[in-house]
């Protein structure tokens, strides 16, 4: 027997198989992925399921970034079968020099080094063809791939990542490209049902980041196919325009687009100010969203602040003796997309979404320092608008500082450094504590009585609070509804926010399932998103789910959170029982509130996670912004997702 071979009894066929080295490597790779899929795609929830599509589409995008592919067709067929096809060069099918098998088979069966989700994962960065394909293959119960090289069609199929047969020529063609079809393994994933909207956001983002590529995304699962074609010649300039079109505030000038090549790296920035008070800066490296920022984003921020201060002083917008504009002043109302492409990106941090390459800080800094300064010189009217906006922001920040100091002095004077309404818990370790922010005094009262005071704090909120989407930071501190929340959580807000000062591990919003409750939830979430964003990003914010129905049969009591659960319960309990529909939290006595909504053993709380920064920004801005029309459209478009809306 050749060296490095292994006798293995194949349990399905009971045959003795002899595997050579590469096949053993394949088997070990498949086994590693199927044993711990979370290491490779983050989770086996619907988010992990979507990652399968992202990996294959990323490979087609890489072919577009290399300049060979113009069109990418993504389709979800009936049965949640995914097809991705591009018109690139086609994966090479020649025998791989090292592995002795077709390169196509190598791409789809050999795990590559490097780790995106830590450990022995695989994909470190975009720009490396096909590194994710073998993972998708391992996690699919079946997958087929076709390569068109302008002459023949090369084909291979797999079951659970294992080739059914060697790569074969199955026909002739004059087209070129790669086509992959796969079905996620139901034995691995909690669900194999794709969310079209989630995937659509990502396809759109990739189209913006790859100027000129055309992505056609089709959902064939319904009676009528749903098709979205995305094609943006303007790239990230169109991305910024798209984001600001979806927001309700008017823009102050046309989008500014700047780019520069340094060596074999490319840095691009698109930016546009609007009348909003918020900033939205998205940064990408090789089309990967660097959620935690990094060197490119640092370079952008430091250069922007310097360029605007230099211009403001040069043209006497700020006098010699006046203090400099701060970073948050020059970024108020700014929407910006930073996109860098480089051969050897270093991704750092827990989720590998922070760019570590220090050369990119100077590259983006130089781009902004040279080209934005020149742009302002050539466009004095736009420059003036940006100066005015930054200076107004500076005055507001200073007013906020005065308001905050005043608040602090007042609260210190009142010596109640925590809001009077807060019923605090005994435990001090934030890892073990949670705070319920409860709508209404009556529910607040029952929650105080019903809670487990060792680790549960209660902060009742009464009436509507400030809509922060339309308010400036100085108004936030003065607001008597938000102030108790700020003081109770202890972190401060905005640029001052410090997550290490958070006093509770879980911040649970408890409000009725009716329209008022939804409004309170949205107001609080808008506040957290705009002024305490890491609180949401790090998964501290939850929504309590109070039951809608109580079913009693004899002595036993059951609860259902929605109509679906009620149906299931009635099927189990039988029809001869009493059904009580709760109108609000206030109708529950402390014991019921504890049992159904607060007892960690059987309550339901939903963790709020911001999947997509652009989407979250749109939702808060449209829902809470000052234009009614876009809000009505948004609510109508999303009404189908809303259950039991009391109107
Ligand atoms: C179905 C999704 O996967 N498209 C792809 C290519 C093209 C090349 C390639 C891919 C192994 C490691 C080199 C062709 N000719 N769409 C796709 N298109 N992979 S994946 O090469 C992978 C080789 O690196 C390709 C010349 N160079 C590269």
Cα pseudo-dihedral 226, 232, 238, 240, rounded to 10: 60
243 pLDDT above the threshold of 90: yes
182 pLDDT above the threshold of 90: yes
- List Cβ neighbours of 406 (8 Å cut-off, separation of 6 or more): none
Cα 288 to its chain centre, rounded Å, is 12
Q: Ligand 1 centroid vs 369 CA: distance in angstroms?
A: 37
Of the options 3.20.20.70, 3.40.605.10, 3.30.450.20, 3.40.50.670, the CATH number for the domain spanning 410-546+605-641: 3.40.50.670
pLDDT in tens, 457-478: 999 987 677 888 778 877 887 7
Q: Which atom of ligand 1 is nearest to the CA of 180?
A: 1
CATH of domain 243-403: 3.30.230.10
Mutation test of ligand 1: which of 56, 86, 91 has the most ligand atoms closer than 8 Å to its C-beta? 91
DSSP per residue, 389-419: HHHHHHHHHHHHHHHHHHHHHHHHHTT--S-
Q: Ligand 1 centroid vs 287 CA: distance in angstroms?
A: 17
- Return the residue whose CA atom lies nearest to atom 4 of ligand 1: 60
Rounded to whole angstroms, how far apart are CA atoms 547 and 552? 14
Going by pLDDT thresholds of 50, 70 and 90, the confidence category of residue 413 is low
Q: Which two tokens stand for residue 480?
A: 């008597």
- Return the residue whose CA atom lies nearest to atom 6 of ligand 1: 91
Q: Which atom of ligand 1 is nearest to the CA of 131?
A: 12
Q: 63, 512, 537, 617: which one is catalytic? A: 512
How many alpha carbons lie under 13 Å from residue 46 in its C-beta half-sphere?
Answer: 10
- Torsion over CA: 421, 425, 426, 432 (sign): negative
pLDDT at position 123, please? Answer: 35
pLDDT in tens, 306-331: 999 999 999 999 999 999 999 999 99
The predicted model gives 226-237 an average pLDDT of 98
**Is 512 an annotated catalytic residue?**
yes
DSSP per residue, 90-122: ----SBPTTTSSBHHHHHHHPPPSS-SSSTT--
Rounded to whole angstroms, how far apart are CA atoms 306 and 308? 6
The predicted model gives 580-608 an average pLDDT of 88
330: enclosing H helix or E strand = helix 327-330
Across the chain, what does the average pLDDT equal?
Answer: 88
Pocket of ligand 1 (CB under 6 A): 56, 59-60, 63, 84, 86, 88-89, 91-92, 103, 107, 129-130, 178-180
Least confident of 211-215, 244-248, 437-441, 633-637: 633-637
Q: Ligand 1 centroid vs 93 CA: distance in angstroms?
A: 10
**Is 449 an annotated catalytic residue?**
no
609 pLDDT above the threshold of 90: no
Residue 222 CB: number of other CB atoms within 10 A?
Answer: 9
Report the share of the chain in percent with pLDDT over 90: 62
pLDDT in tens, 379-398: 999 999 999 999 999 999 99
Higher pLDDT, residue 625 or 269: 269
613 pLDDT above the threshold of 80: no
Nearest one of 123, 136, 230, 126 to 180, comparing CA atoms? 136
The predicted model gives 469-498 an average pLDDT of 86
Q: 439, 469, 537, 617: which one is catalytic? A: 439
pLDDT at position 115, please? Answer: 29
Q: Do domains 31-231 and 243-403 have the same CATH topology?
A: no
Mutation test of ligand 1: which of 56, 61, 63 has the most ligand atoms closer than 8 Å to its C-beta? 63
Please check whether residue 256 is in contact with residue 375, taking contact to mean a CB–CB distance below 8 angstroms.
yes
pLDDT at position 1, please? Answer: 43
- Helix spans in 93-185 (H): 103-109, 133-138
Q: Which atom of ligand 1 is nearest to the CA of 88?
A: 18
448 pLDDT above the threshold of 60: yes
Phi/psi of residue 516, nearest 5 degrees: -60, -45
Rounded to whole angstroms, how far apart are CA atoms 5 and 9? 13
pLDDT at position 439, please? Answer: 87
**Is 514 an annotated catalytic residue?**
yes
Least confident of 119-133, 355-369, 551-565: 119-133
427 pLDDT above the threshold of 90: yes
262 pLDDT above the threshold of 50: yes
Please check whether residue 457 is in contact with residue 422, taking contact to mean a CB–CB distance below 8 angstroms.
yes
Q: Which atom of ligand 1 is nearest to the CA of 63?
A: 18
Rounded to whole angstroms, how far apart are CA atoms 279 and 262? 28
Q: Where are the domains of the chain?
A: 31-231, 243-403, 410-546+605-641
191 pLDDT above the threshold of 70: yes
Pairing of β 71-77 and β 214-219: parallel
pLDDT in tens, 196-230: 999 999 999 999 999 999 999 999 999 999 999 99
pLDDT in tens, 118-173: 222 223 334 344 458 999 999 999 999 999 999 999 999 999 999 999 999 999 99
pLDDT at position 130, please? Answer: 41
189 pLDDT above the threshold of 50: yes
pLDDT at position 122, please? Answer: 29
**Is 322 an annotated catalytic residue?**
no
Q: 77, 516, 557, 565: which one is catalytic? A: 516
Report the share of the chain in percent with pLDDT over 70: 89
Q: Which two tokens stand for residue 369?
A: 């320092």
pLDDT in tens, 5-51: 766 666 666 666 667 777 788 888 889 999 999 988 889 999 999 99
295: enclosing H helix or E strand = helix 295-314
Going by pLDDT thresholds of 50, 70 and 90, the confidence category of residue 517 is confident
Q: Ligand 1 centroid vs 71 CA: distance in angstroms?
A: 15
Q: Tokens 């069109």 appear where?
A: 71
Model's pTM, two decimal places? 0.76
pLDDT in tens, 88-107: 999 999 998 888 899 999 99
Going by pLDDT thresholds of 50, 70 and 90, the confidence category of residue 518 is confident
Rounded to whole angstroms, how far apart are CA atoms 59 and 55? 7
410 pLDDT above the threshold of 70: no
Of the options 3.90.1150.10, 3.40.50.300, 3.30.565.10, 3.90.550.10, the CATH number for the domain spanning 31-231: 3.30.565.10
Rounded to whole angstroms, how far apart are CA atoms 494 and 71? 42
Q: Which two tokens stand for residue 474?
A: 């100085």
């Amino acid at each position: 027997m050749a060296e490095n071979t292994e006798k293995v009894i194949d349990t399905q066929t009971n045959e003795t198989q002899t595997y050579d080295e590469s096949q053993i490597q394949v088997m070990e790779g498949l086994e590693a992925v199927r044993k711990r899929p979370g290491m490779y795609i983050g989770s086996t929830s619907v988010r992990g399921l979507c990652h399968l599509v992202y990996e294959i589409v990323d490979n087609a995008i890489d072919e577009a970034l290399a300049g060979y592919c113009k069109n990418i067709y993504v389709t979800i067929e009936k049965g949640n079968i995914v097809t991705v096809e591009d018109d690139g060069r086609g994966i090479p099918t020649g025998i791989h020099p090292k592995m002795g098998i077709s390169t196509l088979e190598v791409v789809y069966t050999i795990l590559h080094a490097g780790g995106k989700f830590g450990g022995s994962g695989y994909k470190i960065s975009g720009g490396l063809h096909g590194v994710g394909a073998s993972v998708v293959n391992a996690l699919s119960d079946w997958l087929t791939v076709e390569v068109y090289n302008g002459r023949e069609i090369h084909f291979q199929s797999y079951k659970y990542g294992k080739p059914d047969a060697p790569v074969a020529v199955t026909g002739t063609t004059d087209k070129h490209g790669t086509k992959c079809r796969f079905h996620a393994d139901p034995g691995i994933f909690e669900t194999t049902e794709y969310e079209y909207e989630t995937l659509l956001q990502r396809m759109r983002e990739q189209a913006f980041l790859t100027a000129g590529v055309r992505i056609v995304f089709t959902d064939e699962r319904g009676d009528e196919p749903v098709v979205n074609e995305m094609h943006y010649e303007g790239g990230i300039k169109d991305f910024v325009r798209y984001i600001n079109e979806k927001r309700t505030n008017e823009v102050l000038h046309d989008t500014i687009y700047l780019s520069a090549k340094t060596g074999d790296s490319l840095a691009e920035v698109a930016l546009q100010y609007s009348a909003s008070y918020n900033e939205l800066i998205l940064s990408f490296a090789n089309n990967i969203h660097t959620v935690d920022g990094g060197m490119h984003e640092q370079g952008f921020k430091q250069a922007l602040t310097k360029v605007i201060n230099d211009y403001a002083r040069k043209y006497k917008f700020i006098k010699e003796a006046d203090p400099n504009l701060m970073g948050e002043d020059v970024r108020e109302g700014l929407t910006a997309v930073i996109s860098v492409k480089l051969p050897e990106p270093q991704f750092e941090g827990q989720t590998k979404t922070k760019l570590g390459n220090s050369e990119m800080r100077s590259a983006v800094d130089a781009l902004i320092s040279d080209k934005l300064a020149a742009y302002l010189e050539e466009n004095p009217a736009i420059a003036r608008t940006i100066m005015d906006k930054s200076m107004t922001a500076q005055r507001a920040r200073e007013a906020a500082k005065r308001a905050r100091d005043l608040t602090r002095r007042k609260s210190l004077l009142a010596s109640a450094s925590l809001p009077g309404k807060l019923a605090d818990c005994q435990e001090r370790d934030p890892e073990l504590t949670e705070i319920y922010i409860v709508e209404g005094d009556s529910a607040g009262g029952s929650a105080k009585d019903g809670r487990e005071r060792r680790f549960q704090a209660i902060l009742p909120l009464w009436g509507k609070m400030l809509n922060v989407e339309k308010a400036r930071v100085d108004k936030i501190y003065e607001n008597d509804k938000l102030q108790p929340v700020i003081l109770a959580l202890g972190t401060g807000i905005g640029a001052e926010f410090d997550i290490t000062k958070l006093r509770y591990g879980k911040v649970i919003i408890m409000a009725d399932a009716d329209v008022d409750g939804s409004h309170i939830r949205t107001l609080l979430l808008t506040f957290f998103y705009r002024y305490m964003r890491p609180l949401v990003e790090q998964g501290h914010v939850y929504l309590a789910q109070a039951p809608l129905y109580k079913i009693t049969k004899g002595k036993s009591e059951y609860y259902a959170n929605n109509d679906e659960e009620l149906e299931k319960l009635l099927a189990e309990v039988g029809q001869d029982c009493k059904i009580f529909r709760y109108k609000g939290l206030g109708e529950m006595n402390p014991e019921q509130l504890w049992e159904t909504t607060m007892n960690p053993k059987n309550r339901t709380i939903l963790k709020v996670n911001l999947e997509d920064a652009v989407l979250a920004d749109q939702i808060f801005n449209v829902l809470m912004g000052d234009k009614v029309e876009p809000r009505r459209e948004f609510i109508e478009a999303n009404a189908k997702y809303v259950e039991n809306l009391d109107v």
